[in-house]
Amino acid sequence: RRQKPSTPEHKRDFAAHGGALSMSHNDTRSFFNFSQLVLSAGNLKSPPVLKHSKITYFEVEILDVQSKKQICIVDKVPPSSTLLDVKHKFHKACPQWYPSRVGLQLEHNGPYLKDSINIQNLAVSSIITLYFTDLGQQVGWTTFFLAEYTGPLLIYLLFYIRLSTIYDQAESTKNFRHPVVHLACFCHCLHYIRHLLETLFVHKFSGGHTPLKNMIKGCAFYWGFTSWIAYYINHPRYTPPSFGHRQVSFAALAFLMCEAGNHFINVALAHQNHSGSKACFPSPTYNPFTWLFLLVSCPNYTYEVGSWISFTVMTQTLPVGIFAFLMVIQMSLWAQKKHKLYLKRFYPEVRRKAAMIPIIF
């Protein structure tokens, strides 16, 4: 049966329920009053947080490439540092190895890293491990080319004046010199004087270095061949070309044109990045010697080979022919290598050009 509301049990339940409601209502009012107090007091300020430096320094561990033993640790390297900065700090720790002599690799058998690489690009963690190789004694590129080109210039002149220690003095005074001998001396000296002046005033080197042994090999090649060439051309028994004056004249004209073309191409290459905008491949100008850019990507090598072929025809000697043949091989290898670099940088402009000689190379 339904119990009446007036039963004592019902009254007790109602009283208990009503008491709970009143307590809940009091808690709500207390929370409301507390929240109003907080809002009226303003925003609560959080305790100051210690700000840590955002600069993360790297630690470069340098190991020997052969023994893999640790040589030194270069610490506190800023992210903006380059590999050259690391080499300078490494030089302070190990003074016997100056920066140009230090070769650093990211892997044991990997390529040598360039000095301009940012150290942050090599970092996987805060510790960078590099392998060190002693590159040996180094020389600057300007010194390299000056030594390589000064030798042939002086050596040829020593043979041209016919020293008594080289030729028989009686035979030298007896035999008449053909005009092509004087012309060959002029062309040969002009060629190397142009190289020397361009090394000093035209070519721009990035400040890199090359091993001393490379300079010794280059000097031995150029100086040795110059001695062989000069000995035959300036010999008292030298015989002039087969077709006489006509052959000499046409070959000398071709030689002078190739020398002029080589110079203008080198000047154009030296100024290709000074347009103020994005770098682009040099384009032909009003100068007809630069029109070769329409056909090949390395016209300076084309003119260089043309000079030695013309000199071979003008003098008609075997040593010059052998030297010209070797120069064709060497220049073609350099042209192919540079042509691949041009394809990566200037693909639309270079893709239809040959490297050095149209169709052949």
Please, which contacts does 76-82 make with residues 24 or more away whose CB atoms are closer than 8 Å?
A: 77/119, 79/55, 79/118, 79/119, 79/120, 79/123, 80/118, 80/120, 81/118, 81/119, 82/115, 82/116, 82/117, 82/118, 82/119
pLDDT digits (tens, 9 = 90+) for 151-200: 999 999 999 999 889 998 888 888 889 999 999 999 999 999 999 999 99
CA angle 42, 45, 46 (to 5 degrees): 150
Domains and CATH numbers, the chain: 58-136 (3.10.20.90), 141-344 (no CATH)
Residue 256: Cβ-neighbour burial (10 angstroms; 0-12, 13-18, 19+): middle
pTM of the prediction? Answer: 0.77
Handedness of CA 329, 333, 334, 338 (dihedral sign): positive
Report whether 241 contacts 314 (CB < 8 A).
yes
pLDDT digits (tens, 9 = 90+) for 202-241: 998 876 789 999 999 999 999 999 999 999 999 999 999 9
pLDDT digits (tens, 9 = 90+) for 290-321: 999 999 999 999 999 999 999 999 999 999 99
Per-residue model confidence (pLDDT) at position 32: 59
At residue 16 the predicted structure's pLDDT band, cuts being 50, 70 and 90, is very low
Per-residue model confidence (pLDDT) at position 278: 57
pLDDT digits (tens, 9 = 90+) for 114-147: 888 998 888 888 899 999 999 989 999 999 999 9
Question: Does 25 have pLDDT greater than 60?
Answer: no
> Which residue is listed with tokens 């920066």?
99
Closest CA to 265 of 294, 295, 303: 303
At residue 353 the predicted structure's pLDDT band, cuts being 50, 70 and 90, is confident
Report whether 160 contacts 207 (CB < 8 A).
no
269-289: average pLDDT: 75
Per-residue model confidence (pLDDT) at position 299: 94
134: which 2 tokens?
């002693």
